[in-house]
């Protein structure tokens, strides 16, 4: 596996850091930024469709809420433009629950006299991410058979926004 940019948060290490820790609630995390991802169901929800098109992540990684929202917007825009809002149901399958922390460092002259470095470097909450495993479904589009090619095309526009490699699977 080669080096990739943003490898500080791309790969999942250790248990997830959410509002509750383990079986007991040890308390809430203060200062979590809000998620950009607000809409999880688009199109016609109650209608029956014949085919499901899934985007599947091929590696375990963290996907930030901004990447999930960017891919959602790209896919939904393509679906609305190509198929029409009443001819599909689009669902986001992963939610950004994992909280990312950062130990902010000062970067100016004399900063070494003002900062502790790695001493007590727990960090402050800065972002949210969805933690996925290999072969998890990220997005699902349900359409009729005559719109399958257009649904696959719209899903390809969202694959380029993902930090991990993804594939598109069509199932009846």
- Give the tens place of pLDDT for each residue, 119-170: 777 878 888 999 999 999 999 999 999 999 999 999 999 999 999 999 999 9
Q: Is 121 exposed, middle or buried (0-12, 13-18, 19+ CB in 10 A)?
A: exposed
Domain boundaries, the chain: 33-97+131-171
The CATH superfamily assigned to 33-97+131-171 is Ribosomal protein L16/L10 (3.90.1170.10)
| 41-77 pLDDT per residue, tens | 999 888 899 999 999 999 999 999 999 999 999 999 9
Q: Which residues make Cβ contacts (< 8 Å) with residue 37, sequence separation at least 6?
A: 65, 68, 69, 72, 92, 95, 96
Q: Which residue has the tokens 């950004």?
A: 96
Residue 75 — φ and ψ, nearest 5°?
Answer: -65, -45
The structure's pTM equals 0.81
């Amino acid at each position: 596996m080669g080096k990739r940019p943003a490898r500080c948060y791309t790969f999942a290490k250790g248990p997830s850091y959410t509002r509750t820790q383990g079986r007991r609630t040890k308390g809430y995390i203060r200062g979590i930024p809000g998620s950009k991802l607000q809409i999880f169901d688009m199109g016609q929800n109650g209608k029956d469709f014949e085919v499901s098109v899934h985007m599947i992540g091929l590696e375990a990684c963290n996907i930030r809420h901004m990447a999930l929202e960017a891919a959602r917007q790209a896919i939904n825009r393509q679906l609305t433009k190509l198929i029409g809002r009443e001819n599909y149901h689009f669902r986001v399958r992963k939610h950004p629950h994992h909280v990312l922390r950062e130990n902010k460092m000062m970067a100016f002259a004399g900063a070494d006299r003002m900062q502790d470095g790695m001493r007590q470097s727990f960090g402050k909450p800065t972002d949210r991410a969805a933690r996925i495993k290999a072969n998890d479904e990220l997005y699902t589009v349900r359409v009729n058979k005559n719109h399958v090619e257009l649904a696959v095309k719209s899903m390809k526009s969202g694959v380029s926004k993902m930090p991990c490699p993804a594939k598109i699977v069509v199932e009846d």
